[in-house]
A and B are shown apart, each in its own frame.
Chain A
Amino acid sequence: MSGVPVSAYLALALILFCIGLYGALTKKNTIIVLISIELMLNAVNINLITFSKLGMAPAITGQIFAIFVIAVAAAEVAVGIAILLSLYRNRKTVNIDDMNQLKN
């Protein structure tokens, strides 16, 4: 475990975040967008844990924070999927481009 440098963890988190960001900004299917957001959140979690274990001042706070993020993400996905389901029932679509009703 000690053989893996910090930069590798950070690089993984960066790549994961970028993939997530790309997916969140470009995909048309709302479910994929939600999954991409999960990717970004998990990239953040990796960052948090990395610094908590291998940072300048290691502390347990980072790991606790990661657990919080996982809990909030779970809740968010539950609510998000629920909203998406009711939207699908009403609109018969999960295409994110059709969901522009906030404008009005």
Chain B
Amino acid sequence: MENAWLIPLFPLLSFLALLLFGKRLKEASAYVGILLTLASLVFSVIVLVGRLTGATYKLEADWLQIGDLQLTVGFEVNQLNALMLVIVSLVSFLVHTYSKGYMHGDQRFPVFYAYLGLFTFAMLGLVLSPNLLQTYIFWELVGVGSFLLIGFYFNKESAKAAAKKAFIMTRIGDVGLFIGMILLFWQTGSFEYDEIFASVHAGEVSGTMITLTAILIFIGAVGKSGQFPLHTWLPDAMEGPTPVSALIHAATMVAAGVYLVATMFPLFAASETAMSTVAIVGAVTAIFAATIGLTQTDIKRVLAYSTVSQLGYMMLALGAAGYAAGVFHLMTHAFFKALLFLAAGSVIHAVHTQDIEKMGGLWKKLSFTAPLFLIGTLAISGVPLFSGFFSKDEILIAAWANGNYILFWLAVIAAFFTAFYMFRLFFMVFSGKARSEMKNVHESPVSMTGPMIVLGILAVVSGYVNTPWFGTFLGDWLVEGNEALGHGHIEGPAWIMIVATVVSLAGIYLAYLMYSKRSISRDWFTSRAPTLYSIVVNKYFIDEIYQTTIVYATKAISLFLRFIEMFLVNGLVQLVTGIVRGLGKTGAKLQNGQIQTYGTVAFLGLAVLLLIFALTGGYLNG
């Protein structure tokens, strides 16, 4: 565990090596990236195994000394960190492997791997950080990695716009996080998580301040995790290559917001208002994004909205004091959502379109991808025995036990929608008749199917580390030795599990009737509530609302400021430069090389000097 600091350095090494030698290595760059992330994965697993039996390990070194203020850097291995390390390095390793096939033939192949290395480094560094300041630094680095990878196809206007949008939207959240961080530092005098929590626990920070800082930090998490109302960047981020969507915008970076809230959980737990804010935002996001997911026709966008929705679930769990449930869902979601994205990438790789209206009948042609996609779909829909079932169940129980019945029912409805739209996606892509233009469909190479199989296995079995039937091992371990995190498992009524099962099966059955068997017309709902449908299909016009309010307002302000700059500031500056320039020009005129001018000036000067001398010396008065 002492060597955990090496884990982020392997991907950094990969990044640097590929920056320097990428052009020469060409597609062999993939092996550099794959081997180095494999090293990270091996170390992460060793660290996790070590943490399972050992204690929390923390190592820090002095960084800056400013007066009495001591800033430190270091790393910490606690339960949450160790788990996140394995999730991040595993998904990163699999995505590195997968990309070898997916990105084959791309001109900027080495650059892609270099960026992947940078992102993985930043994400692992974020996970290991023992204090807020270090977290913030890596938090921004992760954003840079995301920006670079979304805009990877920078020839496409939409990709460029999406990259900028992602960066700016998350920035809005980051400002909140930054203010929260500074306020906490002001109040507690430290960036260290331990000291902040100790200070909060000892009651040295006022209740209002706890609520304020917690909500500000939550705003950072809202931006990063694509929660309502800052979610609009995440679906647009699907412009990036699909492996990137799997790594950054499904499994790791967007989960960083959830991770941050989980890390700061003792702070949130100290404020009831902050907790309910987190829960409400989470639940609203979950159902809100799920309804949009019902109407989208782009395979990746459907998955993007489902990511937003699932992240909402995690926030709901954390807000409802279900720390273990939230982290558990974070883990299972990382596996099944990465699987879904990689499978979607495999489909796109095979048929060269993202529009599900144009797909169909791919079940027989993609003999590996299709069953794996089905596993992912079953897991996210919460079908019993798959991982998503157990984690979603924990969340529902946590919401119920916390007494938020409205939020509980919202989550149940969202679960129904999730099952419905995921199977709508599945049936539209894989069942029915093959389209005529889909003749040349080939299964993807082994480098792509291999990672999907690993994730497929995990999407099934990862739920069994924390079940009400065989013991809640993960939850108990996560909260071990830290009472502030609550219980590892919350007891709830047994009917919740039955309701969850019924709801998800109902969603699947409805999707089957509408999109596979077609006994219910697809237009059954849209023709009855066209207005509602048009609102949802346009994503509640959130983008348009932002455009007409915030964007225009910002533009108006900037125009106003531009005029001030042009006429007031620039005018002053030009006045100053004008005076100096005028003086200079006058001076330059004297230096014209005309000997007679020089003589005149010298003579006049002498005359003036003599006059002064005469006046002050009193010679004129005799």
Contact = CB atoms under 8 A, between A and B. Distances in A.
Chains A and B bind each other:
yes
Interface of A: 21, 24-26, 33, 96-97, 99-104
Contact of B596 (A25, A102, A103): A25
A81 B603 CA distance: 24
A101 B600 CA distance: 19
B573 interface: no
By Cβ-Cβ distance, the 3 closest A-B pairs, closest first, are A103-B593, A100-B593, A25-B596
B593 A102 contact: yes
B545 interface: no
A96 B591 contact: no
B592 A100 contact: yes
Which DSSP category, helix, strand, loop or mixed, fits chain A's interface?
A: helix
B599 interface: yes
B593 A101 contact: yes
B599 A24 contact: yes
Contacts of A99: 595
Per DSSP, chain B at the interface is helix
B619 to A, nearest CB: 16
Given A24-B599, A96-B595, A100-B593, 11 more contacts: A24-B596, A33-B596, A96-B596, A97-B594, A100-B592, A100-B594, A100-B595, A101-B593, A102-B593, A102-B595, A103-B593
A26 B603 CA distance: 13
Nearest to B602: A25
A25 B600 contact: yes
24 contacts: A21-B603, A24-B596, A24-B599, A25-B596, A25-B599, A25-B600, A25-B603, A26-B596, A33-B596, A96-B594, A96-B595, A96-B596, A97-B594, A99-B595, A100-B592, A100-B593, A100-B594, A100-B595, A101-B593, A102-B593, A102-B595, A103-B591, A103-B593, A104-B593
Nearest to B591: A103
Contacts of A24: 596, 599
Contacts of B596: 24-26, 33, 96
Nearest to A99: B595
Interface string B570-597: 0000000000000000000001111110
A102 B591 CA distance: 10
Contacts of B600: 25
A33 B591 CA distance: 20
B592 A103 contact: yes
Contacts of A103: 591-593
A101 B594 CA distance: 9
A17 to B, nearest CB: 11
A24 B596 CA distance: 7
A103 B593 CA distance: 5
Nearest to A26: B596
Interface in B600-620: 600, 603
A19 to B, nearest CB: 14
A21 B596 CA distance: 10
Nearest to B595: A96
A96 B592 CA distance: 13
B440 to A, nearest CB: 77
A97 B593 CA distance: 9
Contacts of A26: 596
A25 B601 CA distance: 10
A97 B592 CA distance: 10
Contacts of A96: 594-596
Nearest to A30: B595
A102 B603 CA distance: 20
A92 B594 CA distance: 18
Contacts of A102: 593, 595
Nearest to A101: B593
Contacts of B599: 24-25
A100 B591 CA distance: 10
A12 B574 CA distance: 55
Nearest to B597: A25
A83 to B, nearest CB: 13
A103 B599 CA distance: 15
Contacts of B593: 100-104
Contacts of B594: 96-97, 100
Nearest to B599: A25
Interface in B141-166: none
B588 to A, nearest CB: 10
A8 B34 CA distance: 108
Contacts of A100: 592-595
A21 B599 CA distance: 9
Contacts of A101: 593
A33 B599 CA distance: 12
A102 B595 CA distance: 9
A104 B592 CA distance: 10
Contacts of B592: 100, 103
B605 to A, nearest CB: 13
Contacts of B595: 96, 99-100, 102
A97 B594 CA distance: 6
Contacts of A21: 603
A80 to B, nearest CB: 12
A55 B61 CA distance: 91
Nearest to B596: A25
A63 B593 CA distance: 37
A31 B591 CA distance: 23
Contacts of B591: 103
A100 B592 CA distance: 7
A80 B595 CA distance: 15
B444 to A, nearest CB: 75
A102 B422 CA distance: 87
A35 to B, nearest CB: 15
B412 to A, nearest CB: 89
Nearest to A97: B594
B340 to A, nearest CB: 77
A38 to B, nearest CB: 15
A34 to B, nearest CB: 12
A65 B298 CA distance: 107
